Amino acid sequence: MDAIQQKSVQNKIDQLANKKVYVHLETTNGAYASHFDENAYNVGAFIRNAEVSYQHGKIVSTGGSYRVGLKLDLGWVYAEGLTDYEIDNKDRLLMAGHDREGRLMVALEISETPFSHGADPDE
């Protein structure tokens, strides 16, 4: 993954608008929080292969990271804290936010084909 290039990400978001796409979204502080502070809350969210069609999407800088929002017919999907991205060999838009130590904190991925269900060496 490379540091987010806002224009490149916006172009890919625009290409995928008004199509049936699959979204992977997760947030976590995982064991990071409780491992270093036993009083910290461990939080996370995970959704994979949510089939959506968004009217439009937007990436905006939040000062050091980015927020991506996808406008659905009846609401929004968004992720904040994104720092890195790639468009992989399957033409999927993969975005992630990492903390200062490189640990995953948030991921938002958009694909025209479903993501695998398990360990896939090409995933």
Does domain 2-111 sit in CATH 2.70.180.10?
yes
Give pLDDT tens digits for 17-39. Answer: 999 999 999 998 765 555 556 66
pTM of the shown model: 0.87
Q: Which of 6-10, 75-79, 80-84, 114-118 has the lowest mean pLDDT?
A: 114-118
| Element housing 45 (H / E) | strand 44-52
Q: Tell which residue, 54, 98, 102, has the closest CA to residue 78.
A: 54
Task: Give the start-to-end residue ranges of the domains of the chain.
Answer: 2-111
How far is residue 55 from each of residues 69, 83, 96, 106, measured CA to CA in Å? 11, 24, 22, 23
